[in-house]
Amino acid sequence: MPVRVMKLCGVTHLIASNAAGGINEEYNEGDIMIMKDHINFMGFAGNNPLVGFNDERWGPRFIPANKVYDKGLREEAKRIATKIGMSPIVREGVYVFLGGPSFETIAEINMFRICGANAVGMSTVGEALMAYHAGMKVFAFSLITNKCVQDYDDDREANHSEVLDVGAKRSGILKKWIGGIVEYIRQECHQNGY
Ligand SMILES: O=P(O)(O)O[C@@H]1C[C@H](O)[C@@H](CO)O1
């Protein structure tokens, strides 16, 4: 349970990142989507990290999940993006969490688009729920590494090498952006006496 180990070490904020496929047709490869919400599709099948005995010292048995992704951090992240000139590539949207490792079928992508998902990936939601349950502030974002195939006449196929290539291409700007967010969190912790 790495998130709980972080909590025991005094960590107050979680910054989580992932590579994701763009479902929203306006999203481009290389865009960055701040997660404002998620669809825990794995959770629909009972695969929620909070299932099982709940030790109240971590957090309550039943938690709301409509504010997992901290609004203040999202606003600050957008402000920093504007300051460093990356706002044209920054989006905000809903991430749907699937188990993978196969990428999605066209029918699945069409279903998730209709359900309100903007991007699809294979991680982050479990960690975000654990951290929120333990009282940590959560900020998460997706690097859109590919536009999901949504049409049977489209010959492209999702693959892991494009994920790695786009990650490498965006590493410089992401370092700068995350550095700014970390600095904001440092100041917030300082003001709150942490
Ligand atoms: O660990 P993340 O969610 O960033 O990785 C994504 C999803 C798969 O693990 C992989 C697919 O290429 O990238």
Q: In sequence order, what are the beta bridge partners of 141? A: 17, 34
Largest distance between two CA atoms of the chain: 57
Joined tokens for residue 34: 């701040």
* Confidence band, pLDDT 50/70/90 cuts, at residue 1: low
Of all helices (H) and strands (E), which one includes residue 103?
Answer: none
CA of 124 to the centre of ligand 1 (A): 10
Residue ranges of the domains in the chain? 17-147+158-191
CA of 20 to the centre of ligand 1 (A): 7
Q: What is the pLDDT of residues 77-115, one digit of tens each?
A: 999 999 999 999 999 999 999 999 999 999 999 999 999
CA of 110 to the centre of ligand 1 (A): 20
Handedness of CA 167, 169, 172, 178 (dihedral sign): negative
Predicted pLDDT at 193: 85
The residue type found at 3 is V
Pick the residue whose CA is nearest to atom 11 on ligand 1.
Answer: 160
Closest by alpha carbon to 145, among 120, 170, 118, 163?
163
Name the residue of 15, 29, 122, 166 whose CB sits within 8 Å of the most ligand 1 atoms, as the mutation to test its pocket.
Answer: 122
Instruction: Pick the atom of ligand 1 nearest to 158's CA.
Output: 12
Q: What is the pLDDT of residues 180-190, one digit of tens each?
A: 999 999 999 99
Residues across the chain: 194
Instruction: Judge if the beta carbon of residue 19 lies within 6 A of ligand 1.
Output: yes
- CA–CA gap between residue 121 and residue 111 (Å, rounded): 15
Bridge-based pairing state of the strands 32-39 and 90-97: parallel
Q: What share of the chain in percent tops pLDDT 90?
A: 98
CA of 173 to the centre of ligand 1 (A): 20
Contact between residue 102 and residue 44 where contact means Cβ atoms under 8 Å apart? no
CA distances from 81 to 1, 67, 68, 156 (A): 32, 22, 21, 31
CA of 121 to the centre of ligand 1 (A): 6
Predicted interface score ipTM higher than 0.90: yes
Q: What is the pLDDT of residues 12-28, one digit of tens each?
A: 999 999 999 999 999 99
Instruction: Judge if the beta carbon of residue 163 lies within 6 A of ligand 1.
Output: yes
CA of 19 to the centre of ligand 1 (A): 5
Fold for 17-147+158-191, please state it: Rossmann fold (3.40.50)
The three-state secondary structure class of 98 is coil
Contact between residue 146 and residue 29 where contact means Cβ atoms under 8 Å apart? yes
